[in-house]
Structure 1
């Protein structure tokens, strides 16, 4: 386990001593790490000067929420957009969405602002606004067409994400919801394993885990509102995994075909179908997330 306040690279192996440790690059945990040679030489890279600028920019954001998944196609962008819509329903809250899914930016379409352009002012890039209290930034706004492909890798993708954090004028924001890139695994039966990896990653970099959401957990008939289990859990599902890993379980979001329809039309499902069981499930989960954020703020003060 790395010592407190030691710089541990995100791609470091388990039990990395950290770049500032006297054991950097010299212990068994360092074997095979791409950073081993430079760590052992003591010539670790100087801190990125952009980090302090980003800290200053992000200081006006009260709560930063990352929506993570271990694989693609699990409804992460859909959840991100409806989390933002749900919080922004309270017009006293200023909400922003940052879409850093560089290769597959779907947030502009889901939130009904596809084809919009980013404008630049003296204070930086201006987000595109869905509502007066709901702004969005996405690489999708920088493409000439929704059909354009982004095939960037590593440094270029990281550079754009850094630019979004550094140069976007978010203003005073209560909640910044970040839609992150998915994992790459395609085997559906190991989806819980992917989530476990995400939780382990968050703990490794000391990122608080708000909780786990089980998306598309059952099918809700739009007419009779009866829920059917399409993929019944064989190992206890996300709820048991949350207990095993000692993380909060925020709830289950059922399948409702009208969710996809709302996303295709760029509308909020929560407003379009307020009486759906899925809408009620969304609201309960959003309330738990806000309770966590405000509770964390009280503990810090």
Structure 2
């Protein structure tokens, strides 16, 4: 019996092109071990992004690929995943247990940023990651409502200096709404709001998070700059709708993150198309292709394109966002795909080296 050609085995493993890493798993450095024992082959691979829902299928595909190599009688491929920390600036004790911070931002309000944030967080948790959500909209916090946290909920206190974040649908969540009455307006000037944001971020006892999703307020003002300058943000996700006015403001958001050297992971396009529930007619109410053009203009990835859906709005308002309300629906699958794209972009940063130096300029 001729010995099995190791090169043929590696070529078989390289036949799978990961749609999120955009390369084969050997080139991506995911191969941990490869053993050839007579006519039996075993391999172990590890993805470097949260992918709990797909690793089993990848393992099955690679097993079949190896069994088709001449001379292989049996094969076993194990695929798992592990989230690594991307390089960031800063050394804040309160964030020592957070591997990656992802800021979800928009240039203007009303584009579905908070809905994207909460479903992104739940989708990452659905892949098996440990996830937290910080509601950075001090003036209009909504994350508690969207996650179905009962009214009047307050965070726990640890060692008289840490907030212990409540949990909802498997994610840790912290919001200004837990510290103030829901009818009390936060009539604060910028420095007070910025101070409150930093306190929520750094004095919360986050419990070993792979990803902390920060739902930013709209715009490019004090709170955005505070987060960029004071927190070790891994990367940002820009949310927009296809209409020109939203794209104009989204560009400002991208430019702001570029000025402070925070990588833009990609663009999410909401309300891309409306499909009539009665006749099935598809209509682009807010324009067509805006998200693609924006992503192409800045050389970033279009992470997802979501339809204008009554279901998404109703489920978020009801405290059970789409990803947990209907986990196998087409909408949820779109969010899961988006989450894996975001996680893979973070993993690419983790493999890319040292963090950039943040600087602020007037231009």
Give the TM-score normalised by structure 1. 0.75
Query: Is 1:142–2:179 an aligned residue pair?
Result: yes
| Cα root mean square deviation, aligned | 2.3
Structure 1 pair 225–300 and aligned structure 2 pair: CA distance change class (3 A): farther
Query: Is 1:219–2:274 an aligned residue pair?
Result: yes
User: Aligned ranges for residues 238-277 of structure 1 at < 5 Å?
Assistant: 238-277=291-330
Q: Give the counterpart of 1:83 among 120, 128, 135.
A: 120
Per-residue deviation, residues 219-264 of structure 1 (Å, max 9, x unmatched): 134577664322223xx51211221222222121111111111112
Aligned match of 2:337: 284
Aligned match of 2:263: 208
Give 1 or 2 for the bigger CA radius of gyration. 2
Q: Give the counterpart of 2:193 among 148, 157, 178.
A: 157
Give the TM-score normalised by structure 2. 0.62
Structure 1 pair 157–259 and aligned structure 2 pair: CA distance change class (3 A): same
User: Aligned ranges for residues 30-179 of structure 1 at < 5 Å?
Assistant: 55-91=92-128, 93-115=129-151, 116-122=153-159, 124-131=162-169, 133-144=170-181, 146-179=182-215
Structure 1 pair 282–220 and aligned structure 2 pair: CA distance change class (3 A): farther
Per-residue deviation, residues 53-84 of structure 1 (Å, max 9, x unmatched): x6222232111100000001111111111011
Distance, in Å, in 1 between the alignment partners of 2:324 and 2:207 is 26
Distance, in Å, in 2 between the alignment partners of 1:297 and 1:198 is 23
Per-residue deviation, residues 71-117 of structure 1 (Å, max 9, x unmatched): 011111111110111111134x2110000101100111001004211
Distance, in Å, in 2 between the alignment partners of 1:164 and 1:209 is 23
Structure 1, 291-300 or 152-161: larger mean CA deviation: 291-300
Structure 1 pair 120–274 and aligned structure 2 pair: CA distance change class (3 A): closer
5+ long unaligned stretches in structure 2: 1-88, 221-242, 355-363
The answer (yes or no) to whether the contact 1:96–1:176 under 8 Å persists in 2 is yes
Distance, in Å, in 1 between the alignment partners of 2:163 and 2:198 is 13
Aligned match of 2:290: 237
Deviation at 1:277, TM superposition (A): 3.3
Aligned match of 1:45: none
Secondary structure of the residue that 2:99 maps to in structure 1? strand
Secondary structure of the residue that 1:149 maps to in structure 2? coil
The answer (yes or no) to whether the contact 1:256–1:278 under 8 Å persists in 2 is no
Structure 1 pair 171–271 and aligned structure 2 pair: CA distance change class (3 A): closer
Say how many residue pairs are matched.
Answer: 243
Distance, in Å, in 2 between the alignment partners of 1:222 and 1:228 is 12
Structure 1 pair 279–156 and aligned structure 2 pair: CA distance change class (3 A): same
Structure 1 pair 118–275 and aligned structure 2 pair: CA distance change class (3 A): closer
Per-residue deviation, residues 139-180 of structure 1 (Å, max 9, x unmatched): 011112x22211212110011111112211002110000001
Secondary structure of the residue that 1:70 maps to in structure 2? coil
Secondary structure of the residue that 1:217 maps to in structure 2? coil
5+ long unaligned stretches in structure 1: 1-50
Distance, in Å, in 2 between the alignment partners of 1:175 and 1:298 is 16
Secondary structure of the residue that 1:210 maps to in structure 2? strand
The answer (yes or no) to whether the contact 1:71–1:194 under 8 Å persists in 2 is yes
Aligned match of 1:22: none
The answer (yes or no) to whether the contact 2:322–2:331 under 8 Å persists in 1 is no
